[in-house]
Structure 1
Amino acid sequence: MDSNLLKVFVEVAKEKSITKAANKLNFAQSNVTSRIKQLEKSLGFSLFHRVPKGVILSNEGEKLYPRACEIVKKIEEVTYDMKNINKQEHLIIGSTESNAATRIVSFLLQVHKDYPDMNLELITNTTRDITKELLEYKVDIAFISGEPKSDELIILNKVLETIVLVEPKKETCPDVFLSFKNGCAYNEFGQNYLKQISNNEHKNLEFGNYETILGCVKAGMGKSLLPLSIVKKLNYENELRITELPKELANMPTCMVCRKDCIPKIREYLEEYKL
């Protein structure tokens, strides 16, 4: 059985959509459909049922799925180990947008300087999505906001963050919470925090970058909650009213994490690196 067919099957099962799986795999939709049909033909039964919103696993597909996941996982582990059998030749780094805005450039420059022959790849997304990529062996290390919640991950390094509430300096601030897109740890934390300290409901507006968020706060559109390091990095420290949150309420360090079963060969270097 071709393991590449199993990889496509697993992705379709996760996404519950051939179109979404094709986008994730960077395949044409017809290619994914063809590979699923090829796998079904070799096994002798249908793996999916078509539904209005996509596909769902058949009974046979349900039985195959955990075994296919295990096979795909093992092959990815072997591939990773063989590529880095003597040294770390390729490091795929996942990072939150907040970390990318403050630390990732200096980190990449230093790693490249210390390991000039190692290929580096960077993927940015929310804490939720980057953690998912890490758990699926799609990145080697990840910078996430807050402590990892999965037992499959370990912390290699971390830096404490000062979390602040930012509001317009002169304008009266409406009950509008401006945040990064859904999946960002500060988004979830900020909404919960505002519910605790205010009896008023806050409208939530999501944006794709932090400079837009801070610019809108300055203009009086609303308030936001994010690390002080971002406010300083984007030069808004003197443009906004800033309230530092107590550490006991906002203990959200930036953590560099990896899988327990897929620790980079440069682990010691990563642990000693000063974030």
Structure 2
Amino acid sequence: MDIGLLKVFMAVAEEGSISKAAQSLNYVQSNVTARIQQLEQELKTPLFYRHSRGITLTSAGQTLMTYTEKILNLLEEAEKAVLDSPIPKGSITVGSDTTAAIRLPSILSAYRGKFPEVEVHLEIGSTDHLINAVLQYSVSGAFVDGPVEHPDIIQEFIINERLGLIIPETMDFRGLRTIKDKTLLILNPDCMYRMQLEEWLRDEGFRLAKVMQFGTMEGLLGCVKAGIGFVVLPVSYYNKLNVKDGIRCYPFPERYREVPTVFIRRRDLYMTSAYHKFIEELKEHLPEAVSCGARASES
């Protein structure tokens, strides 16, 4: 099976249109149509449903798409392995959740200073989004809340983040009773921080009252300052905030406070010298999580 045919097939599947695929590939439309027909003839099965809104994959096409992604990514990894050199060069794409990203600028700066021939791209997203991005090869590695259990993923421990309750400055904090009827403000409904809080609440005989989801960290913290609710964040994130007016941080008790940050990548991904050096730089520059200077009551 010709690799060129698979590349055309993938473009058509992703675009959902012969004409759009032709534009993205810089081919004439008839050429794309002929290649798809050739592939269908070779496989003796239709790969697309044709309809007025464009085209969609048949069940056979979906199966072929899964293998095509693996084949093309394997070829890309083979090329990286052959062309890789001890001196890092090229580009790397790294994913990070919002809170982990606050640690990265100084690390990226130090890394670029040592290896100026490497171009680093950063993608910010939730843990679920980044796990999917790694599995789909759209990012080569990502920093997420761990642990991550998936047969196709390798994880490497980076650091234990220590969690804190971020509350309005006007709130008189007297342990969990203070927040038991308050609203938890979140970015991601399935984040590990929320799970740790719920475990702490459950062990103390409380339940989470209300939850409100936000699209941005700025909006979330603004609502904490306005007294709308509270948030759970790593203490390291709070300490690096430029403006802490209107909010305070109380660390979780030791039993519930630590959430590991891990670096994940696909098991079949070739780690270039650029990536190896990036991980080394990360471990060298990551400071230990530190206290925010206040002590939380157990109840």
Q: TM-score range by the shorter chain?
A: 0.7 to 0.9
Cα distance, 1:37 vs. partner?
4.9
Residue in 1 that maps onto 2:249: 242
Which residues of structure 2 form unaligned runs of 5+? 172-177, 287-299
Alignment of 1:34-113 (within 5 A): 37=33, 40-43=36-39, 44=41, 45-49=45-49, 57-85=57-85, 87-89=87-89, 90-100=91-101, 102-113=102-113
Does the 8 A contact of 1:7 with 1:72 survive in 2?
no
1:224 aligns with 2:231: yes
Residue of structure 2 equivalent to 1:178 = 185
What is the SS of the residue equivalent to 1:166? strand
Give the equivalent residue in structure 1 for 2:289: none
Whole-Å Cα distance in 2 between the matches of residues 234 and 190 of structure 1? 22
Q: Distance between the aligned counterparts of 1:264 and 1:175, measured in 2?
A: 48
Instruction: Describe the shift of the 1:132–1:80 C-alpha distance in structure 2 as closer, same or farther (beyond 3 A).
Output: farther
Query: Residue type of the partner of 1:95?
Result: S
Equivalent residue, structure 1, for 2:214: 206
CA distance in 2, matches of 1:258, 1:205: 28
> For the Cα contact (< 8 Å) 1:146–1:253, is it kept in 2?
yes
Q: Distance in 1 between matches of 2:208 and 2:191?
A: 22
Deviation at 1:163, TM superposition (A): 0.8
- Give the 3 Å change call, closer, same or farther, for CA 226–50 of structure 1 in structure 2: farther
Calculate percent identity across the aligned residue pairs. 21
Paired amino acid for 2:97: T
What letter is aligned with 1:92?
A: T
Query: What is the distance in 2 between the residues matched to 1:29 and 1:8?
Result: 5
Does the CA-based 8 Å contact 1:190-1:225 persist in structure 2? no
- CA displacement, residues 86-124 of structure 1 (integer Å, 9 cap, x when unaligned): 543122222212122x21110110101111222222222
Is this contact kept in 2: 1:195–1:201, CA < 8 A?
Answer: no
CA distance in 2, matches of 1:187, 1:8: 39
Greater CA drift, 147-156 or 42-51: 42-51
Separation in 1, partners of 2:136, 2:49: 25
The one-letter amino acid of 1:270's match is I
The secondary structure found in structure 1 opposite 2:273 is coil
Q: Is the 8 A contact 1:176 1:222 kept in 2?
A: yes
Conserved 8 A contact 2:186-2:213: yes
Task: Tell me how far 1:263 sits from its aligned partner.
Answer: 1.9
Measure the CA separation in 2 of the matches of 1:36 and 1:247.
Answer: 60
1:270 corresponds to 2:268: no
Corresponding residue SS for 2:132: helix
- Asked whether the equivalents of residues 144 and 257 of structure 1 are also in contact (C-alpha less than 8 Å), the reply is yes
Name the residue aligned to 2:11.
Answer: 8
What count of residue pairs does the alignment treat as equivalent? 261
Q: TM-score, normalised by structure 2?
A: 0.70
SS in 2 for 1:88: coil
Which amino acid letter does the alignment assign opposite residue 254 of structure 1? T
Deviation readout 1:126-175 (Å, 9 max, x if unpaired): 22222222223332332112223224333445111111122223258663
**TM-score (norm: length of structure 1):** 0.75
| Amino acid in structure 1 at the alignment position of 2:169 | K
1:193 shift after superposition: 4.9
- For the structure 1 residues 152 and 67, does the alpha-carbon distance in structure 2 shift closer, same or farther, using more than 3 Å as the test? closer
SS at match of 2:11: helix
Provide the aligned C-alpha RMSD in A. Answer: 3.8
2:267 to 246, 256, 260: 260
The Cα of 1:230 is off from its aligned counterpart by 1.4
Please list every run of 5 or more consecutive structure 1 residues that lacks an aligned counterpart in the other structure: 20-26
Residue 274 of structure 1 aligns with an amino acid whose one-letter code is H
TM-superposition CA deviations, 1:225-267 (whole Å, max 9, x none): 1111111211465743433223443431222333333223242
Counterpart Cα distance in 2 of 1:121 and 1:251: 28
Q: Is the 8 A contact 1:146 1:185 kept in 2?
A: no
